[in-house]
Every structure is written in C-alpha cells, then in structure tokens.
Structure 1
Amino acid sequence: MGGDFNVVRRPEEKLGACIHRKVMGEFDAFIEDSALVDLPLNGGSFTWSSRREDPSFCRLDRFLVSPEILQNWPDVIQKLFLNKISDHSPIAIRRISWNNGPKPFRWFESWADETGYDQVVEEAVTQSKGKGIGAVLKTCKSHSKIWLQSRSKRNPDSSSILEKMITDLEDLVQNEKATSVQKKN
C-alpha cells in the first residue's frame, strides 16, 4: 500500500510545523495493527515541502508492505527522487540489488531533425558495413550516445531553464489566486 497518507509517524518526520501527536499515534497504531512494515526511505528525509518563505517539511508519502513481501524481497526500500516541480517528491519502491540488465537505448524521432545527426548515423553505418544489422544498430547506438553527450555539453542548462520556467509559471498562478482571493475579501 502506498501514497500520500497526509500524516507523519515520528516527530523527526516533520520540520517547521506543529506536530499532532494524537493523529501520529493513531497512524502508527494502524500500521502495527495491520501488521505492515514502513520501509526505509533512501535519498532524503522528507517527501513534502510547503515551498513558502518559511517552509515546513514532512514525510507524508510512503509505502507500507506486508512481512511476506520482505520474506521474498528482503532488500526492498523506498527511494526518494528530487522534484523541483511539485510540493511532493516522488518515491518508488525498489530492490537495492535490482538489476534488469542493460538499460534500453531509446531513439527519438526529433533527433533526425537535429543538425549533424544524419552524419552520425551515416558514419556508424559505414563503419559497420558488412557486419550485419546487429552490428549496425550497436554502432549507431554508441555513436548516438557520444553525439548526445556532446550536445548536452553545448546546452548544459536546458533542463534547468525549463524547470525555472515551470516554477515561474507556478508562482504566477499562485499570485493570481492570492490576488483574486484578496479582491473577493
């Protein structure tokens, strides 16, 4: 079972806000009565932030699993991921030693429109000519990775720019909401 429970289990799971000990105790009792296990959280301590000038932080999101899950997969954890867009940070349940083999290579059609990418493919095809389609694809994959890395070095802040634009838009929407509430009052 997983999600936003909107309550903390321990005082150290909340920072900068008041603690409701009764609700906290009830939630802890629910977990124990249900014989569930709250998995360790790796990657941080808090899954939610108020994002205000004087912020508060809480661990509201979690996965609760049965002991049977831990018998089959004793290395299961909760992984916290960085999130600059929402007030909740995403979490995932995963095995520490999880290995599904090599990551698949993804090709995006938009790359074909990029200047110079056609030359990358031509070079890869020429280099692996006569070795079969598997060799051609493998060479295209390695050449494409090199091309992507060089492209990222030329535009290192592209994701940062998009994240800033999203944050600015969220702030604009919040300010407009605050202004309309003030006008109503």
Structure 2
Amino acid sequence: MIQVPVILGGDFNTVKEKEEKVGVTIDYNLMMMFADFINCDGLVDLPMNGSSFTWFRSGSNVSTSKLDRFLVSTGICSWFPNASQSALNRSLSNHCPVLLKEVQSVAIKRPFKWFTHWADDLDFDRMVKKEFCNIKRKGVGEKLRLVKAAIKNWVVEVRSKDVNSTEVLENKIAMLEEKIVADGAAHCDVSTRNSKIQALKAQLWQKGKC
C-alpha cells in the first residue's frame, strides 16, 4: 500500500478490464497484473470524461483501447474530491491527451484573453465601436464589462461560421471514430468512414502548417 500522495499518469500499454479494449487480442495475464497493481497499492482510477477509449487505430482492422489514464492515491482524492480526468480530441495522434483537473464548485474570475489579430479584423473594430456608442452613459467599469461580453459573443459567432476550424475538424474525426467503435469493425460503412477520417486529417494537417 502506497503511504504517500501519488499521481501516476501516462500510457500504461494495457487495460484494467476487457471492456476497455475493442478489436485487439487481450493479454489477460497482463490485464490481471495491472488490476492487482491498482488494487493492492490502493490507487484510484478516476472517472474518465469524454471518450471511453484513449488509443485508436483505423484502417481495415479497427481497434481501440483505454491505455492512457491517471491513477491517484486516496490521499489525493481526499484533498481534491472533485478531481476527474478527461480524454481530449486526438487530433493527428493515435493517443488522446488526458487532462487531470479539479472541478471548481465555486465560480472563479478568469483573466480576459486578447489576441492581437482581432485588431486587424474590420468587423471586430466596427463591433467594438458600436458597443461603445450604445453605452455612452455608463461608467468605465461597466463599459469594459459589457464590451468584454460582446467580444466573447463575437468570437463564438465567428468560430461557428468557420466550418473547417481546427476544433470542428477534430470533433468530426472523434465522432466518426466513435461511430466505428459503436457499430463494430464489420459494419459496411467502416471503409467509407475511414476515408472521411483520412480526408479530415489531411485538412487538419494543412491548417497546422498555415
């Protein structure tokens, strides 16, 4: 039993349960050793949000597994009772990055991010001037608060119009992969979906080069 607070994270190259692997032969001895390691040392496999699997291989033999995770000691759980892990979009990798975080129960103020390229956008410039014209009689603090809210809405609107943004492409890839796993490798649309995934990855690669 581990007596000190511990956080172990990474690619463990095995699964804890047979349900964590699809389309790949399971090494039951290795799986049992990994499960015993977790239980005997009093480690906790935190809830995983997002995808149920963190590794994906496409092609004719589709396979996916939950290889990446965080394991923490009970001391960490007592300090951070709302801790959880999330599987993020894989993008161009075979593995999902896994984020370990503590969910805040109380809302906290976050710093406002400004990107210099916004100033080069004429629509942004017009939007900010229009907002200031509409709130002439407000105090400086209230003006900044309202303009900040307007900028956030503008960013959301601009992103929603970009049908080929990095985030949109990554989400499309993740959805197609989830469908392949859910329907099974023998489904008639697997080759079509794999072709779509490769096309989306090509677009994602080109955006990364720009």
Shared fold, TM over 0.5: yes
- Partner Cα distance (2:132, 2:199) in 1: 39
Alpha-carbon displacement from aligned partner over 1:67-110 (angstroms, at most 9, x marks no partner): 11222333322222233321111222234554442554322110
**Greater RCO structure (CA 8 Å; 6+ sep):** 2
Structure 1: gaps (5+ residues): 172-185
**What CA RMSD, in Å, does the superposition of the two structures yield over aligned residues?**
2.8
Q: Distance in 2 between matches of 1:5 and 1:80?
A: 15
**By how many angstroms is 1:18 displaced?**
0.8
The answer to whether the Cα contact below 8 Å between 1:85 and 1:166 also exists between their aligned partners in 2 is no
1:127: which partner in 2? Answer: 134
Please give the secondary structure, in 2, of the residue aligned with 1:2. strand
Between the aligned partners of 2:48 and 2:159, the Cα distance in structure 1 is 31
Cα gap change, 1:51 to 1:68, in 2 (>3 Å): same
Say whether residues 1:12 and 2:12 are aligned partners. no
The one-letter code of the counterpart of 1:85 is L
CA distance in 2, matches of 1:161, 1:88: 17
Other-structure match for 1:177: none
Distance 1:98-1:83 versus aligned 2 partners, 3 A rule: farther
In structure 2, what is the Cα distance between the partners aligned to 1:48 and 1:138?
42
Partner SS state of residue 114, structure 2: coil
Q: Does the CA-based 8 Å contact 2:169-2:204 persist in structure 1?
A: no
Shift of 1:27: 1.7
Q: TM-score normalized by structure 1?
A: 0.76
Aligned runs of 1:27-106 on 2, under 5 Å?
27-96=34-103, 98-106=105-113
- One-letter amino acid matched to 1:144: I
State the one-letter code of the partner of 1:48: W
Whole-Å separation in 2 of the counterparts to 1:96 and 1:149 = 23
TM (norm. structure 2) is: 0.68
User: What is the identity percentage for the equivalent residue pairs of Structure 1 and Structure 2?
Assistant: 34
Q: Is the 8 A contact 1:40 1:77 kept in 2?
A: yes
Larger Rg: 1
Paired position in structure 2 for 1:22:
29
